[in-house]
Amino acid sequence: MKERKLASVLSIIAANGFLPLRRQPLFLINTLTSPFSFLFLIFILGGPDLIGYGISGGLVLTILSIGTSLQGDMTHYKADLKFQEMVVASPVKAGTYVTGMALSEFVFSIPGMCVFILLSVFYAHYIFLGGLIVLATLILLWIFASALGFTLATYLADMRETFMIAPIISIFLTVVPPVYYPISRLPPVVRPLAYLSPTTWAANLVQGAMGISSTPLTLGQGLLDGGVLLLSAAILFLVAWKKSQWRER
């Protein structure tokens, strides 16, 4: 049984990840455009002092793009290709399907992640523990983004609806929250609203672990940030498990 699940996951990764990249390498450039566009603007407008925030934001945005891509691909497979109907009729379970799809989307993000990790090592003040914190944060963020993308995809009827939802999610998760800038730049009145987004807590962890934050990452603050991010990922995972429309009703 485990071998069958693993084979199914690997097949989905190959079909939705490696094969499209081999046929059309420009997909890689597409995944790099948004993170590096923000990084370029921050460097031009903010100068070298904010370049570390641009790099940490690039790490966060690259992982979040997995959820957006997952939402679009799964909606396309369900509404246009009717592929989800075939999966539902097969022995493949929803968990196996979404795991394979989420990992296949990660394939597209590997080049961007490698570039931003190298940049972070160059610009940041890493220690071994800081690297582990960044890794754990990105894994939790990947779970959150994948669960969000899967849940939305099961409710959307066609690809046009993804074009409406994706920009709203992007604004709520990457533009308004202090992902590409320190939270101290926000007016005090607005800061509580920023903490409604899980990406704020993720950005705090990454910025603190990289040593670019104005205030050092303390044990208490790290546990609080990590706990909120873990809770957000767990809640959304449960929502995806219990409320997503895997089968047509």
Q: Which amino acid is it at 70?
A: L
If you write DSSP's letter for every residue of the chain in order, what string do you get? -HHHHHHHHHHHHIIIIIHHHHH-THHHHHHHHHHHHHHHHHHHHH-GGGHHHHHHHHHHHHHHHHHHHHHHHHHIIIIIS-HHHHHHHSS--HHHHHHHHHHHHHHHHHHHHHHHHHHHHHHS---HHHHHHHHHHHHHHHHHHHHHHHHHHHH--SHHHHHHHHHHHHIIIIISSSSSS-GGGS-TTTHHHHTTSHHHHHHHHHHHHHT-SSS---HHHHHHHHHHHHHHHHHHHHHHHHHS--S--
Give domain limits for the chain. Answer: 2-243
Report whether pLDDT(131) > 70.
yes
State how far the alpha carbon of 114 is from the alpha carbons of 108, 203, 207, 216, in Å: 11, 18, 18, 25
- pLDDT, tens digit (0-9, with 9 covering 90-100), for 64-109: 888 778 888 888 888 777 887 787 778 888 778 888 888 888 888 8
Task: Give the relative orientation of helices 94-123 and 51-75 as an angle to the nearest 10 degrees.
Answer: 160
pLDDT at 205: 92
- pLDDT, tens digit (0-9, with 9 covering 90-100), for 17-63: 888 878 877 777 777 777 888 888 887 877 777 888 888 998 998 88
pLDDT band for position 249 (cuts 50, 70, 90): very low
Report whether pLDDT(247) > 70.
no
pLDDT band for position 206 (cuts 50, 70, 90): very high
